[in-house]
Amino acid sequence: MNWLLVIAGATVGAPLRYLTDRTIQSRHDSVLPWGTFAVNVTGCLILGLLTGAALSPHLQLLLGTGLCGALTTYSTFSYETLRLAEQGARLYSLLNVLVSVIAGLGAAFAGVAIAHAL
If DSSP states are collapsed to H, E and C, what string results for 24-69?
Answer: HHHCCCCCCCHHHHHHHHHHHHHHHHHHHHCCCHHHHHHHHHHHHH
For residue 50, give its domain range.
Answer: 2-117
Number of domains, the chain: 1
Label residue 10 by pLDDT band (50, 70, 90).
Answer: very high
Q: Which of 98, 81, 66, 82 is nearest to 36 (CA)?
A: 81
Label residue 92 by pLDDT band (50, 70, 90).
Answer: very high
- How far apart CA 80 and CA 68 sit, in angstroms, is 20
Q: Which of 32, 47, 18 is nearest to 110 (CA)?
A: 47
User: Which CA distances in Å does 48 have to 27, 63, 103?
Assistant: 28, 11, 13
Given this model, what pLDDT does residue 28 score?
Answer: 87
Inter-axis angle of helices 2-26 and 34-53, nearest 10: 140
Q: Is the pLDDT of residue 29 over 90?
A: no
Q: Is the pLDDT of residue 30 over 90?
A: no
63-83: per-residue pLDDT in tens? 999 999 999 999 999 999 999
